[in-house]
Structure 1
Amino acid sequence: MNSEYAPLTGQVVAAFSRRFIVATVDGDLSCQVKGRHLHVVCGDRVEIRRDRDAGVIEGVLPRTSLLYRSDAFKSKAIAANVTQLAVVVAARPSFSMELVQRCVLAAEDQGIASLLILNKADLPETPAARERLNLLTRLGYPLVILSALADVAPLRPALHGHTTLLIGQSGMGKSTLINALFPGADAITAEYSEALDSGRHTTTHTRLHRLDADSAVIDSPGLQEFALQHLDAGALAQAFIEFRPFLGQCRFRDCRHETEPGCRLQEAAATGDIDPARLQLFLTLRRLQQNAAQRL
């Protein structure tokens, strides 16, 4: 068989809608997908057929994880084979604590570790931002505080041995962090708007960067929302790690964890074993799921 047309395997290192860059033993190859039934994302390990200077992705190898977000109408896969989710926040512009928690819940559903990164440590508002993150650090989620413009060394040990998906709202300094970790990346950065208290998207596609043979970072476009409609009520409850010891112990098997007598989650919230704010978030997310299902 002509080696030019022999099948190859590789890893998707960049995803641009229907076009992909796949890293192979022979170098990076620009590829398209064969047919519309095949869904490919950054991080996927794929089987490809070389066709002269390009390639065709013909199959996706089994994934260890698939992280995606969804709303009532569609789901969007973000990255595959990720072992760690790193949520980047900063004191300025302000970040949504609910959005951070939604990202962490999606990671928990896939058995992916979570890491919190508080960037722009030199800002005077940083201590207050750090206090807001206590809701998650008290549960054991690790936090790295740094200034990407000054020194990213504090982050490197947390990335070692992982394929880490870097995610966060626009304006948090994610692209600056990528440029500091990978000087050749040339990620576009932008100032945020103080008037609007928000940033603007600078990353337009998902890209995998290798730190070393055992470590990689996947950069993803900034986001302003992260829905969890793909999780049913049971999966959603399991994604709250502090709920797990109490699940299945309510008096009623179909307990909604609202006002039912003998609800172990409500009792745990009353005694401080779980944070009432976390239980309220669960109930809010579950109601959003139910409302979305009724609209379909």
Structure 2
Amino acid sequence: MTASTGQIIRSHGRRFIVEADGRVYDCTTRGKRVDYACGDHVDILIQNQEQAVIERAHERRSLLYRQDDWKTKVIAANVSRILFVVAAVPSPNEELLGRCLIAAEAGDIEPVIVVNKSDLPETAALLNKLQLYADLGYRLLTLSAKQDFSPLRPLLSGHTSVLVGQSGMGKSTLTNALLPDANARIGDISTALDSGRHTTTHATLYHLDADSHLIDSPGLQEFGLKHLQASDLIRYFPEMRQYIGQCRFHNCSHCVEPNCAIMAAAEKGGIARHRLNLLQRLTQELAPARL
């Protein structure tokens, strides 16, 4: 058996596809460990031309994951940019966007909001609603994956980017436009995993060039943030950071306390009401016993 170092380019339960030395290996893990992620750099022990065992993972630059009351779902590792894909049709979930932006802030990963289907007449209203996020400093990019995806290319250069968003927003269309042979590759990987029906349920990493990589993740319907601390939440809202330390109580929940700087700013229009509401809902989720 031979030792080598590679990168996980796809996962399925306890099995992982690792790319190493120009080859692709179907890998299992030592013990019961399954917390590896697409994008992880790992040491493997090669058993034959097709199979290997993951020995350990290298230190991660970043980790994007979500967590609810029941489970933790690792999405991607070692990414430097999150591309949140949204479109006017089907109706976008703005809370999902807000939660993803918080996860990006917490994980020190740069987010980009990609508005797809720019040719739809409903897109103008969506852009008007999303202007708030542009005003907060988030990068906003509008395109049509089916017509012209070229505006996205400069943002991918030199980054490992992960595509996230609701189902139906056009993530797969965007991936196929950027990588015309993506479907063929998914088929090859699926064959290796002997499970064709799971081709869209796990993240897959693609190489755009030597320095640029793209991870396509499954469609999201929710984004749990149970791994975060309620007391840290306002640090992940750019418009709220300036008010840190200004509340009457040092452990203010920003939900019911008097002389709360965050609620006062919302009353004066300095913070959007729906952003305050999101903060309060998350606070109640993360620290329910206190409220």
TM-score normalised by length of structure 2? 0.90
Check the 8 A contact 2:14/2:34 in 1, yes or no: no
Residue pairs, 1:1-296, within 5 angstroms? 5-53=1-49, 54-186=51-183, 203-291=200-288
Alpha-carbon distance between aligned partners in 1 of 2:32 and 2:265, rounded to the nearest angstrom = 48
Alpha-carbon distance between aligned partners in 1 of 2:256 and 2:167, rounded to the nearest angstrom = 38
Amino acid at match of 1:250: C
Q: What percentage of aligned pairs have identical amino acids?
A: 49
Q: CA deviation at 1:187?
A: 7.7
Alpha-carbon distance between aligned partners in 2 of 1:8 and 1:32, rounded to the nearest angstrom = 15
Check the 8 A contact 1:88/1:168 in 2, yes or no: yes
Q: Secondary structure at the match of 1:179?
A: helix
**Which residue in the other structure is 2:192 paired with?**
none
**Which residue in the other structure is 2:189 paired with?**
none
Amino acid at match of 1:141: Y
Amino acid at match of 2:35: H
Amino acid at match of 1:108: E
After superposition, the C-alpha distances for 1:150-203 in whole angstroms (9 at most, x for unaligned) are: 111011111112111100111111101000000000189xxxxxxxxxxxx972
Q: CA deviation at 1:236?
A: 2.0
Q: 1:202 to 1:14 in 2, by over 3 A?
A: closer
Q: What stretches of structure 1 of length at least 5 have no aligned partner?
A: 189-200
Alpha-carbon distance between aligned partners in 1 of 2:244 and 2:70, rounded to the nearest angstrom = 29
Q: CA deviation at 1:146?
A: 0.8
Say which is worse superposed, 227-236 or 62-71, in terms of deviation. 227-236
Q: How many residues align?
A: 277
Q: Secondary structure at the match of 2:175?
A: helix
Q: 1:257 to 1:187 in 2, by over 3 A?
A: farther
Amino acid at match of 2:167: S
Q: 1:236 to 1:32 in 2, by over 3 A?
A: same
Q: CA deviation at 1:37?
A: 3.0
- Post-superposition, which runs of at least 4 consecutive aligned residues in structure 1 deviate over 3 A? none
Please tell me the root mean square deviation across aligned C-alpha atoms, in Å. 1.8
Q: CA deviation at 1:207?
A: 0.3
Check the 8 A contact 1:109/1:235 in 2, yes or no: no
Alpha-carbon distance between aligned partners in 1 of 2:285 and 2:199, rounded to the nearest angstrom = 30
Say which is worse superposed, 141-150 or 235-244, in terms of deviation. 235-244
Q: 1:243 to 1:187 in 2, by over 3 A?
A: farther
